[in-house]
Structure 1
Amino acid sequence: MKNTLTLTALTALVLSSMVGAGIFSLPQNMAAAASPVALIIGWSITGIGILFLALALLFLSRIRPDLDGGIFTYAKEGFGELIGFCSAWGYWLCAVIANVSYLVIVFATISFFTDINHNIIFGDGNTWKALIGESILLWFVHYLVLQGVQTASLVNKITTIAKLIPLGLFIILGIFSFKIKIFNSDFTGIELGIPIWEQVKRAMLITLWVFIGIEGAVVVSEKAKNRHDVGLATIFAVSCALIVYMLVTLLSLGILPREELAGIKNPSMAGLMVELIGPTGNIVIASGLIISVCGAYLSWIIMATEVPYIASKHKSFPNIFSKLNSNNTPYSSLWLTNIAIQISLILIWISGSNYNTLLLISSEMILIPYFLVGAFLTKTAFKTKNKKLLGIGFAASLYGLWLIYASGIMNLLFSLILYAPGILIFLYTRSQFSIKTPLKFFEKMISILIIITAIPTTIYLINQ
């Protein structure tokens, strides 16, 4: 059967794609950025914004069930051929680099069990031994996904449950160990010497990234058993993730004073677990991190594979990516994705890079597609004069603009380096499908602007 993903499988896909490695470093990251009161304000604003984005995805999945693939098809339907392609291209590249980072993080964490001072085996996940391990895991998952999305989603459900066990244990222990005196010791962040609103902004820069993956159910909506479940899965997963993130962050500030928590080595949750249950805590969290990242990796492989396939069906990617195997897996798209990941892993090994700059730039590429989701709902609601949907769409668009602004103009400019080669693929695809409709004036101007801006930005980045 083609439509095999249940509500549980869709929810697990979204939750697993959002809850990856970042949550295990949240305690230290947040403590270094803001005080308890600023974190409460920051999480509240983020929670409201992300729920509006989730609601936008919910209602679009119901009023436009014909638009499979969500992120890409909403952009193309609402704003034209070029914008739709850029949305798909940017999302796919973001997913590829995210998967590279997950593989590197897995083996960097395994080094916790294998490496000693004078015997570095996996290091930061960029040694030749790590490359071999990452490549084996990469092609094993490739084989798994080739067996069909139902097989992969079953494994994903198992890893999602497994990753919630150490997180649940941390939260339970944190509740019993929480001390209000410690939590209130620097409630407004006087020792930080930064105004409350600046603390809120710093905290929200961290929360920008922890919800990436919210679109997972929409991306694979074509394979949902019931289209009505797509939006529900998104709401369920986002609500669960928001609760877990807030509990992990705020409970941590009641276990150790903020300034002490800010100095803990990441993954900081491991250090906190040592405080709670002794040396075993390191093993519990390191194991949980590996399982969590592997689950997130599997989710993102599924989503990364789906985007070129859907885009090809809509004549926005070359025709070869629309091909399916006997298990209804878009195998050409899967091969493209995993070859790109393998090349990236080799480059990381050669350069000794920790991939952070590329990951930051690629993450920027997903923010514009998020904004376009809210903008498309706003446009749709305006045409139908539906005030409720108009309000949700406007709020989601506003939150999307905030994400782009908060991440920084330089990261937006750097992302154009990755968009520029996509323009050539876009033009080739139009030629392959013999699309005769001329590009609109604004599409031509955007294409030229991307290419022109990418050249000096590339030179600037090389010279840094």
Structure 2
Amino acid sequence: MADPQAGKLPLPTLTAMVVGSMVGAGIFNLPGRFATATGPFGAIIAWLIAGTGMYMLARVFQALAEKRPDIDAGVFAYAKAGFGDYMGFLSAFGYWLGSCLGNVFYWVLIGSTLGRFFPDIFGDGSSATAIIVSLVGIWAFHFMILRGVEQATFINTIVTIAKIVPILVAVLAFVFFFNYTQFSENFFGGVGMPEKTLVAQVRDTMLITVFVFIGIEGASVYSRYAKKRSDVGAATILGFVAVTGLMVAVTLLPYATAPRAAIAGVQNPSLAGALELVVGHWGAVFISVGVLISVLGAYLAWSLICAEVLFAAAKSSDMPRLFAAQNANRVPANALWLTNIVVSLFVISTYWSRDAFNFMLDMTSVTSLLPYLLVAGYGVLLARSGVGYEATPGERGRDQIFAWIAIVYTLFMFVAAGLKYVLLVTVLFVPGTILYFWARREQQARLFTPVELVVFIITLVGGAVGAYGLATGLITP
């Protein structure tokens, strides 16, 4: 008789999936992005907001994993359970699209990292050569993943260990060269700080904090592979605490080693440049190697997550049945093909972007906010209904507070992102709705409830405004 636990992932592996998903590209760009926006004072406020908001979101994921163990398809399934089929689809499509955009960002970062050593060939990561190298890499990974998910998760665990080492070395170097006088000079921005309010400074850091926390739901997405259901919540919290500590250190410590303006002026990935200011050129080389390992590992994890989201959505009839097919190695092959075709098209589009690096980072962040908002909303609905709380009624009030704080945080993130990015996301959502029509036709189900129709019309109007802005140059990528 087959062992039902065969091929299941234990807690350490699930935690490594969370850490591997979160510690990707973003952490290597924190020093420069923060130094461009603010000094340590603003950075501390930004991390308090981001850390609190994302911790609450992590607690929502933990509570939902425990109270609704029957929902094992991950992020979008919670949106569907709480708000109906169309919102479930938008959540699934938004999460998948955000993951695709994140994968594009990884390839731009690889190009810009190589551009540090070969500037004439790779430039800022969106040159013709960089795009060709990215396309070769995308399809090399594609065919490796088709060979099996267990092999890929094993590689991810190894890569997670390998990429933490350069970050820890950088943190230790910053601690060793910590200069209190330099830190105090930078505290409120220091010399050359642009004239802007503290609120504006903090707002300018918000999207990268969302980006670096994307992946917090990694264990939730892989919940069907977990040996024990309770491990999903535990892995989420363990991964969150470990990664948050690293990210705060990587952000704040460089302020104590060089002037803020110098850190703001380094080339991406900025952790390499910040370490180079302290220890010389070898530091940049060391971190750049770490970036390449980290990003390739994160790309592997997110390619799996992209395919898994499409596959799970197709299994629950929220996407066309075509994407529910698996190959002989239990890999959702059709979902993987669509994912990598879309990623390839976005990579090619970076050739025409003014700042592909930050644009892809910000688009990834905003696209991920809708699924997070709907998860938090479902957390409130579940706690209010009492379903799953029969054995622990005392936890309902606490979980409801956590979920409300997570809602306020994600709404604040939408405001911080600005109208431009929200409109651009709706531009991408409108053609995506074709998949929803396709799936509903297969099910012979009605398209929209009255409320869903209103949501669709709002999305359509937003997409039209965004498309007009792009066509007339009012919105520039």
Which of the five TM-score ranges fits, normalised by the shorter chain? over 0.9
Aligned equivalent of 1:37 = 41
Distance in 2 between residues matched to 1:108 and 1:205, nearest whole Å: 20
Q: Is 2:463 the counterpart of 1:461? A: no
Residue 358 of structure 1 deviates from its aligned partner by 5.5
Distance in 2 between residues matched to 1:39 and 1:351, nearest whole Å: 28
Identity, in percent, stands at 37
Distance in 1 between residues matched to 2:371 and 2:262, nearest whole Å: 38
Aligned equivalent of 2:149 = 149
Q: Is 2:439 the counterpart of 1:443? A: no
- Structure 2: gaps of 5 or more residues: 387-392
Q: Is 2:410 the counterpart of 1:400? A: yes
Aligned pairs (5 A) from 1:168-207: 168-189=168-189, 192=193, 193-207=195-209
Aligned equivalent of 2:19 = 15
Distance in 1 between residues matched to 2:404 and 2:9, nearest whole Å: 31
Aligned pairs (5 A) from 1:317-328: 317-328=319-330
Aligned equivalent of 1:257 = 259
- Secondary structure of 2:356's counterpart equals coil
- Secondary structure of 1:31's counterpart equals helix
User: Could you report, residue by residue, the CA deviation over 1:210-264 in whole angstroms, capped at 9, with x for unpaired residues?
Assistant: 2112111111211222222111111111111110111111111111132332333
Distance in 2 between residues matched to 1:310 and 1:134, nearest whole Å: 27
Single out whichever of 199-208 and 447-456 deviates more from structure 2. 199-208
- Secondary structure of 1:253's counterpart equals helix
User: Could you report, residue by residue, the CA deviation over 1:117-174 in whole angstroms, capped at 9, with x for unpaired residues?
Assistant: xxx3333333443334223321221122222221111111111111111100011111
**Paired AA for residue 441 in structure 2:** S
| Structure 1 residues 131 and 198: CA distance shift in structure 2, 3 A | closer
CA contact (8 A) 1:2 1:223 kept: no
**Paired AA for residue 88 in structure 1:** A
Distance in 1 between residues matched to 2:357 and 2:40, nearest whole Å: 31
- Secondary structure of 2:407's counterpart equals helix
Single out whichever of 134-143 and 308-317 deviates more from structure 2. 134-143
TM-score (norm 2): 0.90
- Secondary structure of 2:122's counterpart equals coil
Distance in 1 between residues matched to 2:284 and 2:168, nearest whole Å: 15
Residue 356 of structure 1 deviates from its aligned partner by 4.9
Distance in 2 between residues matched to 1:428 and 1:358, nearest whole Å: 28
Distance in 2 between residues matched to 1:157 and 1:4, nearest whole Å: 15
Aligned pairs (5 A) from 1:138-287: 138-189=138-189, 192=193, 193-287=195-289
Distance in 2 between residues matched to 1:190 and 1:230, nearest whole Å: 44
- Structure 1: gaps of 5 or more residues: none
Distance in 2 between residues matched to 1:35 and 1:290, nearest whole Å: 28
Distance in 1 between residues matched to 2:183 and 2:325, nearest whole Å: 56
User: Could you report, residue by residue, the CA deviation over 1:291-349 in whole angstroms, capped at 9, with x for unpaired residues?
Assistant: 11111111110110011111111111000111112222111111111122223334445
User: Could you report, residue by residue, the CA deviation over 1:243-292 in whole angstroms, capped at 9, with x for unpaired residues?
Assistant: 01111111111111323323333323223322333221121011111111
**How many pairs were matched up?**
459
Q: Is 2:346 the counterpart of 1:344? A: yes
Residue 55 of structure 1 deviates from its aligned partner by 0.6
**Paired AA for residue 136 in structure 1:** V
CA contact (8 A) 2:206 2:417 kept: no
CA contact (8 A) 1:2 1:328 kept: no
Q: Identify which of 114, 119, 123 aligns with 1:110.
A: 114
User: Could you report, residue by residue, the CA deviation over 1:4-59 in whole angstroms, capped at 9, with x for unpaired residues?
Assistant: 22222222222222222222221122122122222222212211111111111011
CA contact (8 A) 1:33 1:202 kept: yes
CA RMSD of aligned residues (A): 2.2
Aligned equivalent of 1:431 = 441
Single out whichever of 54-63 and 193-202 deviates more from structure 2. 193-202
Aligned pairs (5 A) from 1:278-357: 278-349=280-351, 354=356, 356-357=358-359
**Paired AA for residue 14 in structure 1:** V
Distance in 1 between residues matched to 2:39 and 2:160, nearest whole Å: 31
Residue 446 of structure 1 deviates from its aligned partner by 1.6
**Paired AA for residue 453 in structure 1:** G
Distance in 2 between residues matched to 1:398 and 1:147, nearest whole Å: 42
Q: Is 2:130 the counterpart of 1:130? A: yes
Q: Is 2:62 the counterpart of 1:58? A: yes
